[in-house]
Amino acid sequence: MDRKERFLPRGRRVSRIFLAAMAAVTLLAVSMPGAALGVGQILDVHDHGGNVDERDGVVQPSAAQQAAAADLGATVRWNRFGTPSSLIRYGGFLASGLTGPDAPTVARSWLNQNKSLFKLTSTGASSLALESDSPMVRSKGHAVIFRQLFGGLKAARDGLITVGITGMPSSGWKIAYVSSSSAGTQAAPATAVLSPQAAWRVAALDVGRAVSLSDI
């Protein structure tokens, strides 16, 4: 611990530790979809090139969303979908005095109260699946991660909301930080016309790699 950190009030030190831990968990959450993308087993074709994202365009947040973030007293950054990539209230909490039996229940309830900010029409289990609840070491904090579902299918990339929450059922809960790649509520995707293996081969050809189906 450096000298400046040593002379910080205990509450501010804890807040820094909690937010640093939250940032680490958020980075881990962002890395999770990649591991879930491979439907077929890819053998001996692991010459890792750069990732390719063919999506384009950026959706701007609405005036109502910006007003909702301001009502929380939050510093907000917006993602490409026009929803918050990060929400934090420096020197305070996004919400406090919340009640509930556990961190995921309280986090989901808070998201429901603020669902328009994330362009969601529902925060029920059929729209937002609980991915994980990670307690922070030596802290009352939790990183609660939800993943969006579209027509019953979990988002393979993006569609994550991470809620940093601290507290206990007996003393109440506070929302410290939220990050997201929420794409908002959308209709179920169209039925696939290619098998996972065929789709992977098309993607490989698109980046100049000739791969046969037997390699997949």
| Residue (of 12, 23, 65, 29) closest to 164 by Cα position | 23
Gap between the Cα atoms of 144 and 126, Å rounded: 17
Residue 87 belongs to some domain of the structure: yes
The whole domain housing 164 covers 3-39+63-185
Residue 54 belongs to some domain of the structure: no
Residue 174 belongs to some domain of the structure: yes
| Residue (of 200, 182, 174) closest to 76 by Cα position | 182
Residue 97 belongs to some domain of the structure: yes
Supply the pLDDT for residue 37: 31
Gap between the Cα atoms of 146 and 87, Å rounded: 16
Residue 164 belongs to some domain of the structure: yes
Residue 148 belongs to some domain of the structure: yes
pTM of the full structure: 0.68
Least confident among 85-94, 109-118, 180-189: 180-189
Q: Please tell me the total number of residues recorded for the chain in this structure.
A: 216
Split into its structural domains, the chain has a count of 1
Supply the pLDDT for residue 21: 53
Supply the pLDDT for residue 199: 81
Gap between the Cα atoms of 28 and 25, Å rounded: 5
Gap between the Cα atoms of 127 and 155, Å rounded: 10
Checking if the pLDDT of 93 tops 90, the result is yes
pLDDT band at 138 (very low <50, low <70, confident <90, very high): confident
The overall longest dimension of the chain from CA atoms, in Å, is 62
Long-range contacts of 71-79 (CB under 8 A, 24+ apart): 72/114, 79/180, 79/181, 79/182
Per residue in 151-192, pLDDT tens? 776 776 778 999 999 999 999 999 999 999 988 877 766 677
